[in-house]
Amino acid sequence: MSSVAVIGAGAWGTALAVQAARAGNQVTLWARDPARAAAMATSRENPRLSGVRLPPDVAVTGAHPVEADATVLAVPMQFVRTTLPHLPSAPLVIGAKGLETGTLRLPLEIAAEVRPDLPAAVLTGPNFAHEIAAGLPAASVVAAVDAALRERIASTLGTASFRLYGNEDPIGAQVGGAAKNVIAIAAGAVIGVGLGENARAALITRGLAELSRLAVALGGRAETVMGLSGLGDLLLTCTGAASRNYSLGVALGRGERLADVLAARSSVTEGVATAPALVARAQASGSGADVEMPICAAVASLLSGRSTLAEAIASLLARPRRDE
324 or 189: which leads in pLDDT: 189
Q: Which domains does the chain have, with CATH numbers?
A: 3-168 (3.40.50.720), 171-317 (1.10.1040.10)
Report the alpha-carbon distance of residue 153 to residue 157 in Å, rounded.
6
Residue 322 has φ and ψ, to the nearest 5°, of -160, 170
Residue 84: the pLDDT is: 97
For residues 236 and 126, is the Cβ–Cβ distance under 8 A? yes
Average pLDDT over residues 87-115: 97
Residue 322: the pLDDT is: 81
Annotated catalytic, 97?
A: no
The residues near 285 (Cβ < 8 Å, ≥ 6 apart) are 214, 217, 218, 291
Residue 309: the pLDDT is: 95
Residue 52: half-sphere exposure toward Cβ, Cα within 13 Å = 26
Report the alpha-carbon distance of residue 141 to residue 228 in Å, rounded.
7
Whole-angstrom CA distances from 86 to 5, 17, 32, 114 are: 12, 18, 12, 11
Residue 319: the pLDDT is: 87
The one-letter amino acid at 50: S
Residue 286: the pLDDT is: 59
Active-site residue identified among 105, 180, 244, 281: 180
* Tens of pLDDT, residues 196-222: 999 999 999 999 999 999 999 999 999
Count CB-CB contacts under 10 A for residue 77: 24
The pTM of the full predicted model, rounded to 2 decimals, is 0.94
**Average pLDDT, whole number, for the chain?**
95
pLDDT at 9 over 90: yes
